[in-house]
């Protein structure tokens, strides 16, 4: 027993070093806390938040909804495909993009209800509908689900991908477990070596474009300059990379879930009953990648078929639909893309409709 304790004592300094470095460096901003709160405060104050790296989008949206004081005119919901929607594009000074990385239908329902319960119910909603919204095998592990669970209870649905509410915050526990992670320690050392810890905090700015990643006061996202300004050869390579190794959603897509279709139908109906004007946007893909999708029906037929499901559900509720997974239908070429999946901000003007909502023409 004494020998075991003596051996353990040898490892205490190493364990202490591991914990201190992980806590101090915290390259993914998961241990120290306050990162998303600071970004939310900047946006709520009317500035853009520059220098955003490894931010938890969902924690940021929760913090922002608690800080915002003015009503939302148009609320954009969706994944990163929604984040190039801007107040300038929509013509709504009270526009806010509440998109989160990898959002699924549960995120969209939860975030809409978060704003509604904060007294900021929007007048209009743009739902950027991704194919993975309708597949239970592609549900996002990080999704916000509290509002979604309430939605399912009210409408009599069985929630997808959740086991109900838990008294234990497993997401918080998983993040804090990085305190003892050796890979996180290695990342932390590299982070400290490059001096990135000295410029970790979000910075307020009024600039529309920035060198680093930025979330603007209207919620839209600005990619870092090297990605935003990459030559077309780099963009083509990224598009071809998705052909060589299909994205996770494509690999995991097993078919359209009737349960999720019914839940989306009920959500669109709920928006109408709340007096919200809603529209659906179908995000375009890079021409090289889309051509591959259209040719490889074994992998992509069900994915592309979700467009007609979205259009049919919108028609039931008399809601407009714009965009298409097919870039040609949006008037887009390969120069209109950042990569295989994301259309450039300025190219959104090519297919965003004038007078999208009935009230726009007034």
Band (pLDDT 50/70/90 cuts) for residue 100 is: very high
pLDDT in tens, 255-266: 999 999 999 999
pLDDT in tens, 126-173: 999 999 999 999 999 889 999 999 999 999 999 998 754 443 444 555
Give dist(CA 149, CA 256) in Å, integer.
Answer: 21
The mean pLDDT value of the chain amounts to 87
Residue 350 lies in a domain: yes
3-state secondary structure of 346: helix
Residue 195 lies in a domain: no
Question: How would you label 77-90 residue by residue, b for 16+ Cβ within 10 Å and e otherwise?
Answer: bbbbbbbbbbbebb
Evaluate whether 331 touches 351 at the Cβ level (below 8 Å): yes
Residue 115 lies in a domain: yes
The pLDDT value recorded for residue 54 is 79
| Residues sharing a CB contact under 8 Å with residue 254, sequence separation 6 or more, in sequence order | 135, 136, 137, 302
Please give the model's pTM, rounded to 2 decimal places.
0.88
DSSP 8-state code for residue 277? E
Structure tokens given for 249: 């959603």
Band (pLDDT 50/70/90 cuts) for residue 199 is: low
Q: Which residue has the higher pLDDT, 195 or 299?
A: 299
Residue 271 lies in a domain: yes
Can you tell me the mean pLDDT for 186-201? 57
The pLDDT value recorded for residue 241 is 97
Residue 140 CA, chain-centre distance (Å), reads 10
Give dist(CA 161, CA 134) in Å, integer.
Answer: 12
Give dist(CA 108, CA 126) in Å, integer.
Answer: 10
Q: Which domain holds residue 129?
A: 67-166+204-357
Residue 234 CA, chain-centre distance (Å), reads 23
Among 239, 263, 250, residue whose Cα is nearest residue 301 = 250
Residue 172 lies in a domain: no
Q: 164 in the Ramachandran plot: left (φ > 0), alpha (ψ -120 to 50) or beta?
A: left
Residue 178 lies in a domain: no
Residue 32 lies in a domain: no
Give dist(CA 61, CA 47) in Å, integer.
Answer: 16
pLDDT in tens, 237-290: 999 999 999 999 999 999 999 999 999 999 999 999 999 999 999 999 999 999
Residue 17 lies in a domain: no
Q: Above 50 in pLDDT, residue 327?
A: yes
DSSP string over 180-229: G-HHHHHHHHHHHHTTGGGG-S-EEE--SS-SS-EE-TTS-EE--HHHHT
Among 104, 102, 97, residue whose Cα is nearest residue 145 = 104
Band (pLDDT 50/70/90 cuts) for residue 30 is: low
Interior CA angle at 189 toward 183 and 193, to 5°? 150
Give dist(CA 182, CA 67) in Å, integer.
Answer: 36
DSSP string over 123-155: SEEEEE--GGGG-GGG--TT---HHHHHHHHHH
Q: Above 70 in pLDDT, residue 362?
A: no
Q: Above 90 in pLDDT, residue 66?
A: yes
Q: What is the CATH number of the domain that holds 320?
A: 3.40.50
The pLDDT value recorded for residue 150 is 96
Q: Torsion over CA of 208, 214, 215 and 216, rounded to 10 degrees? A: -20
- Alpha-carbon distances, residue 140 vs 25, 147, 249, 295, 350 (angstroms): 27, 15, 10, 27, 30
Q: Which residue has the higher pLDDT, 325 or 28?
A: 325
How many structural domains does the chain have? 1
- Alpha-carbon distances, residue 83 vs 17, 27, 173, 222, 361 (angstroms): 39, 24, 29, 8, 25
pLDDT in tens, 218-230: 999 999 999 999 9
């Amino acid at each position: 027993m004494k020998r075991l304790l003596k051996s353990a004592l040898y490892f205490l300094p190493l364990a202490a070093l591991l914990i201190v470095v992980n806590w101090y460096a915290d390259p993914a901003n998961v241990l120290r806390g306050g990162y998303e709160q600071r970004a939310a405060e900047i946006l709520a104050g009317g500035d853009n938040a520059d220098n955003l790296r490894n931010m938890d989008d969902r924690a940021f949206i929760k913090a922002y909804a608690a800080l915002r004081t003015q009503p939302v005119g148009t609320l954009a919901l969706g994944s990163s495909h929604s984040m190039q929607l801007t107040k300038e594009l929509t013509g709504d000074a009270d526009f806010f993009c509440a998109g989160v990385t990898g959002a699924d239908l549960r995120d969209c329902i939860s975030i809409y209800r978060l704003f509604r319960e904060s007294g900021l119910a929007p007048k209009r909603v743009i739902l950027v509908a991704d194919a993975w919204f309708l597949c239970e095998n592609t549900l996002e592990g990080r999704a916000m689900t509290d509002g979604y669970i309430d939605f399912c209870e009210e409408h009599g649905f069985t929630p997808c991908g959740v086991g109900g509410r838990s008294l234990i915050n497993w997401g918080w526990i998983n993040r804090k477990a990085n305190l003892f992670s050796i890979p996180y320690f290695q990342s932390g050392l590299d982070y400290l070596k490059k001096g990135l810890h000295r410029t970790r905090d979000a910075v307020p700015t009024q600039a529309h474009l920035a060198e680093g990643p930025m979330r603007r006061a209207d919620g839209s996202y600005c990619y870092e300059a090297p990605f935003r300004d990459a030559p077309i050869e780099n963009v083509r390579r990224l598009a071809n990379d998705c052909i060589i190794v299909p994205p996770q959603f494509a690999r995991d897509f097993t078919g359209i879930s009737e349960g999720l279709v019914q839940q989306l139908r009920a959500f669109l109906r709920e928006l109408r009953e709340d007096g919200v004007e809603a529209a659906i946007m179908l995000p375009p893909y890079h021409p090289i990648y889309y051509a591959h999708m259209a040719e490889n029906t074994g992998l992509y037929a069900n994915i592309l078929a979700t467009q007609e499901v979205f259009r049919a559900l919108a028609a039931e509720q008399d809601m407009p639909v714009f965009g298409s997974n097919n870039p040609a239908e949006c008037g887009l070429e390969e120069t209109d893309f950042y990569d295989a999946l994301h259309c450039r901000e300025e190219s959104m003007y090519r297919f965003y409709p004038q007078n999208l909502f009935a009230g726009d023409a007034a």
